[in-house]
Structure 1
């Protein structure tokens, strides 16, 4: 990911209170018209750049059941956040659930949502990037031979980009062959992409 910073955050807890019973009849429950539900999330990361707010939180917006289907443990999520002056990133890391003794110890998926553009990412890492499409969304497949056992797909969004980087940790002294670093990542992306804010 070159010079781009990572980002993370906290999840708010909701407390519920219950009143003790009395002899008075309970109040009527509020009608749907009286109940106001906000669908707007306050961004956890803001900066002074004037760039768009990051509207996709990888720790909150990727459903647990979809992560399990993609062979990642939702309980392993590790949030990160980097509000900078000129750009920001909001991230989350997940550990894979698949293990092959003497071949694969574990693997990790890092997801970073940032308010930089795909063009900026291409300018920064164009030498390791190939244009692809994920579910019709403009994207870059990024394979850096110097970043051993790792592969990334960066997709365009309305607020900027989301980078999905998978890293293998071999269960032996040999590295994973470079032609396997990206194997299956596009299929994983096809499952996760629908949950990214446009």
Structure 2
């Protein structure tokens, strides 16, 4: 997929449209807002599970990822069709790195049609229950994924995994207490783009 480990993140965009009251444009704007775009999933499986309706590489705006410190121009599709389930993924490299001072984080955002309960069962030894903007979630941190902080958010179709890898700028391990520094804010921002 990438040269380094992959991990996940997100951020927030606000779209503002203005019309003067009573104008003909107001009706069109209301009709437009009421119509949601539904994209045909790039990958489907034969499992009978719900189709994955959130596509990280297309549904997270590039400018949001860039503002969060990731190189959206170099994002890579990271899909995982498995037959019995599907994951649509997008990998990002971080842009902030000053040797000896600041590290860089790489992200992988994956949307899949497995349940939060299935994820908890698989990673029970490193998972703790959490909530992001009121959405049920898991926080996964542990020796299985060294220097990685992972949030798993529940959706109507399954889950979205946001996995961030700390690309250290020094030899030796990064203390586990630093793996998730500041990540919840990023996850909270990207959560707003997940439409159920």
Instruction: Give the TM interval when normalised to the shorter protein.
Output: 0.7 to 0.9
How far apart, in 1, do the equivalents of 2:116 and 2:167 lie?
28
Higher helix share: 2
Query: 2:180 maps to what in 1?
Result: 182
Whole-angstrom distance in 1 between the partners of 2:102 and 2:74: 18
1:39 is displaced (CA, Å) by: 2.6
Q: CA RMSD in A?
A: 1.9
Supply the distance in 2 between the matched residues of 1:102 and 1:174 (Cα, whole angstroms): 13
Distance across 1 between alignment mates of 2:131 and 2:187: 10
Measured after TM superposition, the shift of residue 103 of structure 1 is 4.4
Change in Cα spacing, 1:149 to 1:158, as seen in structure 2 (3 Å) is same
CA distance in 2, matches of 1:161, 1:135: 15
User: What CA distance in whole angstroms lies between the structure 2 residues aligned with 1:130 and 1:87?
Assistant: 24
> Aligned residue for 2:88?
90
Say how many residue pairs are matched: 164
Q: Provide the secondary structure at the position in 2 that maps to 1:123.
A: helix
Q: Where do 5+ consecutive residues of structure 1 fail to align?
A: 1-5, 7-31
How many angstroms apart in 1 are the aligned matches of 2:126 and 2:49? Answer: 26
- TM-score, normalised to structure 2, is 0.78
Structure-1-length-normalised TM-score: 0.78
Which is bigger in relative contact order (C-alpha 8 A, separation at least 6)? 2
Q: Say which structure is richer in strand.
A: 1
